[in-house]
Structure 1
Amino acid sequence: MKKAFVTGGTGFVGANLVRLLLKEGYQVRALVRRNSRLDNLQGLDVELAQGDLTDPDLAAQMMGCEVLFHVAAHYSLWQTDRDRLYQVNVLGTRNILAAARQAGIERIVYTSSVAAIGVGDHDQPIDETHQSPVEELVGHYKKSKYWAEQEAVKACQAGQDIVIVNPSTPIGAWDLKPTPTGEDLILRMLRRTMPVYVETGLNFIHVEDVAQGHLLALQKGKTGDRYILGHQNLTLKQLLDQLSQITGLPAPTRSIPAWIPLSVAWVDERILAPLGKTPTIPIDGVKMSQHPMYYDAAKAVSELGLPQTPIYTALKDAVDWFVSKGYVER
């Protein structure tokens, strides 16, 4: 029975991964921050290691584990979070990979993101061979994930056994926080607070398939390679129409040009936020939506056997979970 050390186990992808590892017979030790909500790990046979990615004693926390899944990251599109994004995502990754070397970890799966890869020209899907110049990546979250992935690449070149996975946009259960996808798309639809939409597109995948992709990367992934964990490219309108079929609620029928939410976001972040008002729309989030983010996950499907659960199923699982946990009334 192998023992896995998991960071980010209280989060969306991490909680699904921890459940899969336990189901597959792994022992799990999860790194949790002192102020973390532990709802996603309640009732699970998981050993908790209290700490932070930047702690100097992480090697001691990992002793006795054979494999590491480094899933944790700070995800924020707010420009005021710039420093924390680099501290947690870049320096935290550097720190935990160094600690893993000290602790004798045999193999590592590092959770990057398609955000680190960038976007293609003319809305074309891209694969692992593509890399947008870092200066063209929109926002500090994407840039921090790029530089964090470079830490994994450097550690691998220095001799560590690391496989990199790049999830696209996961959908499903255990979206506790919730993620921007869960909050801004699914919950806004359920709460009937989405009268219009922006013309954009994303690659979506069931979060359980993302968890499977992590385990498959551990078992079959090539050292130093990266694998896009994705499934279906959909326009935002297509996704909302599927949500409408599931919920019986009408999907918005009118789109608005990007300059409208961009103007609102600019006022929110640049003028009202410094005055103490909580902003509602991030500037970088709107800028990202101006370029559809489409990806090709054929490599992970062919080399790893990545499952491709229908997005309709993922959306239904997400809706059922949000409703069951009281996020919205049906």
Structure 2
Amino acid sequence: MILVTGGTGLVGSHLLYHLSVKNDKIRAIYRTEASLKKVKKVFSYYTSDVKLFSKIKWFKADITDVPSMKPAFADIEYVFHCAALISFNPKDYREMRKVNIHGTAILVNLAIDAKVKKFCFVSSIAAVGDALQGNLVDEECEWNKEKDNSGYSITKFGAEMEVWRASQEGVDVIVVNPGVILGSGFWKAGSGKLFTQVYNGFKYYTEGITGFVAVQDVVKPMIQLMQSSVKNERFILVSENKSFKDVFFSIADAFGKKRPYKKVKTWQTEIAWRISWFVSKINGVAPLLTKYSAKSAHNITKYSSQKVMNAIDYQFEAIDTSIQRISGNYTED
């Protein structure tokens, strides 16, 4: 049987669809009944066959709570760990440590005890180190703990360390490090907000460059790697290195909307995140912009996915093609 954590999130929900096409024994973790509606919506982008969704055996649990998670590992052979807390708000750091590091440690311990065959962990490019100047970032780039890393980066790296511990105790593991994941169904969170903002006439853009990948190009390699003989390796999953400007423009074009036309400079975001921080201190609302999200909007970092392409002969979809499909789903919702 397959266990999926974070089954009601972006990666988890799309993963569950692709798993359900070929597998009959899938157990997925959820926390609220309301979140299951989003998963059904994701399935509807692919198929009208409701039988696929019914293959999933939903298990209510909290990955940070051992008593609730222990029964979930009964008869489990393969684990896809997609659950995580994503935030660049410093206030969320303690909670991110609890979910991302402590939660992963619990899953690893249970996987070891259950003698699962293989464990796949969804990490992030945030947990990969920097390359030498002018080079692409690859899996050999070591994470630098002395760098001014975001809380999210620190906790994803910490979670990876727990997963590697499993590999030392008899569990084969796969770690994937996706770039910015673009996908349908979660329009009010994460990268889904890019589509919502541009559709509603977002005016601003930056020229920072990072790695982007469609959610399908995250879950398909995960499944192939888990089915392969490859083990105890990590893989960067990036389709293309693109600027935020180009991605915003592509989304606008897909919607037939006006492209963002106001370039935001580094010094402007430096001021903006400080103002946002000050306002959040007064009203108690999470800041719209943080130090780390402001910095990432201007950073130029390029990644290589050559390792996974070689390992499983995988070809990524062009980001513009992905954006066309995702934008179509958005307008249909």
TM-score by length of 2: 0.90
Per-residue CA distance 1:105-134 (angstroms, 9 max, x = gap): 211111111110033344642111112312
In the alignment, structure 1 residue 248 sits paired with structure 2 residue 259:
no
Give the stretch that moved more between structures: 36-45 or 67-76. Answer: 36-45
In the alignment, structure 1 residue 268 sits paired with structure 2 residue 276:
yes
1:324–1:315: structure 2 CA closer, same or farther, 3 Å change rule?
Answer: same
1:101 Cα shift? 1.6
In the alignment, structure 1 residue 30 sits paired with structure 2 residue 28:
yes
1:12 to 6, 10, 13: 10
1:313–1:186: structure 2 CA closer, same or farther, 3 Å change rule?
Answer: same
Per-residue CA distance 1:52-101 (angstroms, 9 max, x = gap): 11111323211022110011110011110010111100010000110112
Q: What RMSD, in angstroms, separates the aligned Cα atoms of the two structures?
A: 1.8
In the alignment, structure 1 residue 136 sits paired with structure 2 residue 143:
no
Amino acid at match of 1:7: T
Report the counterpart of residue 61 of structure 1 in structure 2.
Answer: 72
1:114 to 117, 125, 149: 125
1:268 Cα shift? 1.6
1:35–1:83: structure 2 CA closer, same or farther, 3 Å change rule?
Answer: farther
1:40–1:306: structure 2 CA closer, same or farther, 3 Å change rule?
Answer: farther
Amino acid at match of 1:241: F
Unaligned runs of 5+ in 1: 326-330
Give the stretch that moved more between structures: 40-49 or 105-114. Answer: 40-49
In the alignment, structure 1 residue 78 sits paired with structure 2 residue 89:
yes
Query: Segments of 4+ in structure 1 off by > 6 A?
Result: none
Report the counterpart of residue 228 of structure 1 in structure 2.
Answer: 236
Question: SS at the partner of 2:66?
Answer: coil
Question: SS at the partner of 2:65?
Answer: coil
In the alignment, structure 1 residue 192 sits paired with structure 2 residue 201:
yes
Amino acid at match of 1:214: M
Report the counterpart of residue 328 of structure 1 in structure 2.
Answer: none
Kept in 2, the 8 Å contact 1:212–1:307? The answer is: no
1:49 to 59, 71, 78: 59
In 2, the alpha carbon distance for the partners of 1:221 and 1:313 equals: 31
Per-residue CA distance 1:252-286 (angstroms, 9 max, x = gap): 234221221222222222x2212225221122111
1:257 to 265, 270, 274: 265
1:218 to 203, 222, 226: 226
Kept in 2, the 8 Å contact 1:40–1:176? The answer is: no
2:101 to 85, 90, 107: 90
Give the stretch that moved more between structures: 87-96 or 60-69. Answer: 60-69
In 2, the alpha carbon distance for the partners of 1:56 and 1:205 equals: 33
Structural mapping, 1:297-308, within 5 Å:
297-308=305-316
Identity of aligned residues (%): 24
Unaligned runs of 5+ in 2: 41-49
Report the counterpart of residue 159 of structure 2 in structure 1.
Answer: 148
Amino acid at match of 2:154: K
Aligned residues: 319
Which of 1 and 2 has higher RCO (CA within 8 Å, sep 6+)? 1
1:252–1:146: structure 2 CA closer, same or farther, 3 Å change rule?
Answer: same
Per-residue CA distance 1:21-76 (angstroms, 9 max, x = gap): 00122421101124762223335121111111111132321102211001111001
